[in-house]
């Protein structure tokens, strides 16, 4: 086919338009890549515990285990199954953040009382590691989705306990600032090296995979926090010093505007 002489002519006024299309295509490609990577990670994370469960069960089924080893084997199967349950629950929470319906469930949520409840729910984990949690601040209202706010506060407080040292402490502050409601959680734990601080909000990202797994982590907790924050127009910041501790803050906007999150 002969090319039309005008095929390759680009008018100057078309340039911004073409650039915009190019940008849009690149964004679409990035989203597609993230989805692909997420599916690959999900398959891997699901397969690992399932492979050990079926392996242990098979050995027991074939009568290859001595009677005295059966409790140990059952315990491993139980632990791997628990891991799978937590993982599936976290995946469901993340996908729910993608649904439009979340926009309908807004209500005025009092964050101080909610945080107090969360701290008491976490008390078994605290006593296990002899960690003391101090809650201070004042009642403050946030217009949002109770379930998601609960998950956000729970995840950062749980991390402050999980990645703490035995006998360490956690300080939680909830209250109002000139810029709006704020929640601040500080711990005396292992800290997060600078180069990892931005990446901990990515799905399945863990600074130390075995350390996180040992503590029942899925690597999804902070991405739930991040997407919950986007949905509430909130900002999450990290301040951390390895070996000293970490402070995570969530700042909600004064004008409680809800935004539909684009969950990748
Ligand atoms: P996980 O399920 O592994 O805890 P998260 O998404 O909640 O996943 O956190 C991602 C990673 O960030 C963790 O694996 C851990 O390495 C690091 N991290 C999160 N919170 C803290 C904290 N308070 N102190 C130290 N490291 C933390």
Contacts of 173 (CB under 8 A, 6+ apart): 135, 136, 137, 182, 183, 184
C-alpha of residue 165 to centroid of ligand 1, in Å: 14
Contacts of 56 (CB under 8 A, 6+ apart): 73, 76, 77, 80
Q: Could you give phi then psi for residue 121, rounded to 5 degrees?
A: -65, -30
C-alpha of residue 135 to centroid of ligand 1, in Å: 21
Mean pLDDT along residues 143-150: 93
Total-model pTM:
0.83
**For a pocket test of ligand 1, which of 155, 165, 206 has the largest count of ligand atoms closer than 8 A to its C-beta?**
206
- 1, pLDDT greater than 80: no
10-19, 130-139, 179-188, 220-229: segment of lowest average pLDDT: 10-19
Mean pLDDT along residues 116-141: 96
Whose C-alpha lies nearest to ligand 1, atom 7? 221
Mean pLDDT along residues 66-82: 93
Can you give the C-alpha Rg of the chain in angstroms?
23
Ligand 1 contact, 159 CB (< 6 A): yes
C-alpha of residue 200 to centroid of ligand 1, in Å: 7
Ligand 1 contact, 192 CB (< 6 A): yes
238-257 pLDDT, tens digit each: 999 999 999 999 999 986 44
Going by pLDDT thresholds of 50, 70 and 90, the confidence category of residue 212 is confident
Query: ipTM of the assembly?
Result: 0.99
Going by pLDDT thresholds of 50, 70 and 90, the confidence category of residue 260 is very low
Nearest atom within ligand 1 for CA of residue 185: 23
Q: How far apart are CA 71 and CA 233, in angstroms?
A: 49
**For a pocket test of ligand 1, which of 163, 187, 223, 245 has the largest count of ligand atoms closer than 8 A to its C-beta?**
163
Q: How far apart are CA 221 and CA 60, in angstroms?
A: 34
Contacts of 5 (CB under 8 A, 6+ apart): none
Mean pLDDT along residues 160-188: 97
Averaged confidence pLDDT in the chain: 89
Ligand 1 contact, 190 CB (< 6 A): yes
Q: How far apart are CA 19 and CA 253, in angstroms?
A: 33
27-36, 110-119, 183-192: segment of lowest average pLDDT: 27-36
Ligand 1 contact, 188 CB (< 6 A): no
């Amino acid at each position: 086919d002969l090319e039309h002489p005008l095929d390759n002519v680009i008018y100057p006024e078309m340039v911004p338009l073409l650039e915009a299309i190019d940008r849009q295509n690149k964004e679409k490609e990035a989203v597609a890549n993230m989805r692909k990577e997420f599916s690959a990670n999900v398959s891997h994370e699901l397969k690992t515990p399932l492979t050990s469960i079926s392996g242990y069960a098979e050995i027991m089924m074939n009568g290859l285990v001595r009677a005295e080893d059966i409790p140990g084997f059952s315990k491993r199967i139980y632990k791997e199954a628990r891991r799978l349950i937590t993982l599936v629950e976290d995946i469901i929470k993340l996908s729910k953040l993608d649904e439009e319906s979340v926009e309908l469930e807004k209500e005025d949520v009092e964050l101080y009382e909610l945080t107090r409840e969360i701290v008491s729910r976490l008390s078994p984990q605290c006593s296990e590691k002899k960690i003391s949690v101090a809650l201070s601040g004042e009642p403050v209202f946030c217009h949002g989705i109770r379930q998601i706010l609960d998950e956000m506060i729970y995840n950062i407080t749980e991390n402050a306990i999980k990645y703490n040292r035995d006998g360490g402490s956690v300080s939680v502050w909830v209250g109002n600032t000139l810029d709006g409601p704020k929640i601040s959680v500080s711990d005396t734990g292992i800290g997060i090296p600078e180069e990892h601080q931005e990446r901990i909000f990515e799905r399945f990202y863990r600074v130390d995979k075995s350390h996180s797994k040992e503590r029942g982590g899925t690597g999804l907790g902070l991405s739930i926090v991040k997407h919950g924050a986007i949905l509430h127009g909130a900002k999450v910041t990290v301040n951390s010093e390895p070996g000293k501790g970490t402070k995570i803050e969530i700042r909600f906007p004064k004008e409680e505007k809800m935004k539909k999150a684009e969950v990748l």
